[in-house]
């Protein structure tokens, strides 16, 4: 753009000099006509060049701004969803919808069907898994409800992630659950580990999305 300004200044200087020459009465009429035609031709070419160059700069500028604006919009949206998710977890009013499960016998993640979630509203906590995920597990162990559930924010990691711990008491000691929820930075996505509180071993791990309860 600076080069364009310099060219315009130079062209203005040339135009002024040529105008001065064209008004010189001592110039030969034929030479005058030729100079005038040359001047008009060069003026037209330069105007066309200037218009094309300005248009090109505008297109390049807009193209550069669009990706930047898109990234900024995505970042802002992620921060808003993260704030909503962290607030829901801290207040104990949330639903975590499972996306992918990591089961001990499977080497690759297992896509979740509907009906797999962990929720909390007030003191009422629910862990609900569908039978197709755990075909050998008694149905009574798949869905656990507790009206005395608790959740606490354990720590904020250096990378910006937040780790919560949810505890639920089942009908039997073997059904007590400890749920570690890691909410990733600048997003509403999370990693969840459900453990048997009595035996202290992971029952299941999965990734999901945190939503405020009632949405």
Domains and CATH numbers, the chain: 2-85 (no CATH), 92-212 (2.40.128.410)
Taking residues 22-26, what's their average pLDDT?
A: 50
Question: To the nearest whole number, what is the mean pLDDT of the chain?
Answer: 77
Query: Is 89 exposed, middle or buried (CB count within 10 Å of its CB: 0-12, 13-18, 19+)?
Result: buried
What do you get for the CA distance between the two ends of the chain, in Å?
51
Say if CB 177 and CB 167 are below 8 A apart.
yes
Say if CB 191 and CB 184 are below 8 A apart.
yes
Q: pLDDT band at 22, cuts 50/70/90? A: very low
Q: What percent of the chain has pLDDT over 70?
A: 60
Q: Identify the pLDDT of residue 126.
A: 96
Give the CA diameter of the chain.
Answer: 114
Q: pLDDT band at 77, cuts 50/70/90? A: confident
Taking residues 185-209, what's their average pLDDT?
A: 91
Give the span between the Cα atoms of 172 and 143, in whole angstroms: 13
Residue 1 in this model has a pLDDT that exceeds 60: no
Taking residues 138-155, what's their average pLDDT?
A: 85
């Amino acid at each position: 753009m600076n080069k364009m300004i310099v060219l315009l200044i130079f062209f203005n200087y040339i135009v002024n000099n040529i105008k001065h020459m064209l008004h010189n009465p001592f110039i030969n009429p034929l030479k005058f006509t030729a100079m005038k035609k040359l001047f008009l031709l060069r003026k037209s070419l330069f105007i066309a060049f200037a218009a094309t160059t300005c248009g090109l700069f505008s297109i390049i500028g807009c193209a550069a701004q669009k990706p930047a604006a898109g990234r900024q919009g995505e970042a802002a949206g992620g921060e808003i969803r993260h704030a909503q998710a962290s607030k829901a977890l801290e207040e104990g009013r949330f639903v975590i919808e499972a996306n992918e499960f990591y089961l001990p016998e499977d080497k690759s993640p297992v896509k979740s069907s509907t009906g797999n979630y962990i929720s909390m509203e007030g003191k009422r906590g629910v862990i609900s898994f569908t039978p197709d995920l755990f075909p050998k597990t008694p149905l009574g162990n798949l869905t656990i409800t507790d009206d005395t559930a608790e959740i606490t924010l354990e720590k904020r990691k250096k990378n910006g992630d937040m780790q919560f711990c949810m505890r639920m008491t089942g009908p039997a000691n073997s059904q007590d659950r400890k749920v570690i929820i890691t909410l990733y930075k600048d997003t509403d996505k999370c990693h969840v580990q459900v453990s048997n509180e009595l035996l202290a071993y992971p029952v299941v791990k999965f990734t999901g999305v945190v939503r405020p309860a009632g949405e």
